Amino acid sequence: LEDAIDDCNVECTFDCNEDAVHAWDEAVAFYTGSEEGSDGSGDGALLYSLADKRCANFKTCGPEGDSVSGTSNINIKIFSEFAAGQMNLNLGNCDAARVNKDRISELMGVPLVQGVYRYAHKIDNLGDSSEKSKAEGAVFAAAILPRLHACSPGAAATVYENMKVGATSTSLPAVKSAFEANYACMGIFCDAVGELYNTDTGSYYANVPACNDAIFSEPNFLAGYMPDTDVLDHSAIDGDQLAIESALSTGDFGLAKSIYEDGGYSKSYAQITVSPALSKGLPKGTPITGLSGNNRAVFGTALES
């Protein structure tokens, strides 16, 4: 896909970006393979097939993403982007083709996240300690961790410690919340990933914490703008402003000054007591992860050495 963008000629009017379109078509071939057949109903061994397998585990198959059979909704969306990208390349709309490429890359991550959840669930909730399940979980995690790390090194560290080869324990809630807190950054959302579904009972697994876009995705948007980096804490400065105004209205100048200098809603921090004490100090900026009282992953960095 990147090769196609590199080869794209903006001066092309129609059907003159042959090299770019060929590179794009190659990407589709590498994603799909030959065993899927002309209509995608076959049984291949590449990413197209993986997406179809995982959608059955999360009830995200079909045009509406609400079925346990048929073509993965992710594949439907990806092939819509493939078609649009091919058209844009033929027309020399190189910038538009890059948008298609970026969206395809985001969507391709969904089956990998689903794979991590599936095997974390097997290990944590179903007591599956087999080498196969642990290995598959580790491989799925390794495939998606670079993208998660680009959004949050702390979240990536949480997933790695829970899913790595030789992990002493695996917590599905910790893994799930680590990803969900970064869905917006990764370009995916709860409805795309779905929830683990038990096809034998025809219901979702009760012991899997539900995803909530309102909690994890929407706060990252700023008046419709989605930052590429985490500035949620910075945006909370208006909470400081309102708190200062409230303090001043009651004549509490000391509180107003404290909020101004140290922050109130912004510059959020937590004080923790480590027991027993650490054997050595931690430098400022060290990533720190843990679980909140409701078993959600919390990420931060040491403010002082």
Query: What is the residue-level pLDDT of the chain in tens, covering all 305 positions?
Result: 999 999 998 887 666 778 999 999 999 999 999 999 888 888 899 999 999 999 999 999 999 999 999 999 999 999 999 999 999 999 999 999 999 999 999 999 999 999 999 999 999 999 999 999 999 999 999 999 999 999 999 999 999 999 999 999 999 999 998 999 899 889 998 999 999 999 999 999 998 888 865 444 334 567 767 666 667 778 888 889 999 999 999 999 999 999 898 887 776 667 777 878 888 888 887 777 666 665 555 667 777 78
CA dist 182 and 44 (Å) reads 31
pLDDT of residue 278: 84
CA dist 28 and 37 (Å) reads 13
What is the number of residues in the chain? 305
pLDDT of residue 51: 97
How far, rounded to the nearest angstrom, does the alpha carbon of residue 167 sit from its chain's CA centroid? Answer: 22
SS3 139: helix
pLDDT of residue 219: 43
Phi–psi pair at 35, nearest 5 degrees:
-75, -15
E strand or H helix at 97: helix 94-124
pLDDT of residue 130: 96
pLDDT of residue 292: 63
pLDDT of residue 226: 60
One-letter identity of residue 194? G
CB atoms within 10 A of CB 119: 26
CB atoms within 10 A of CB 237: 14
pLDDT of residue 215: 44
Q: What is the DSSP string of 38-62?
A: TTS-S--SSHHHHHHHHHHHHT-BT
CA dist 287 and 230 (Å) reads 15
Specify the long-range contacts of residues 201-206, CB closer than 8 Å, at least 24 apart. 204/59, 205/121, 205/125
Q: Write down the residue that tokens 């982007």 correspond to.
A: 81
pLDDT of residue 265: 79
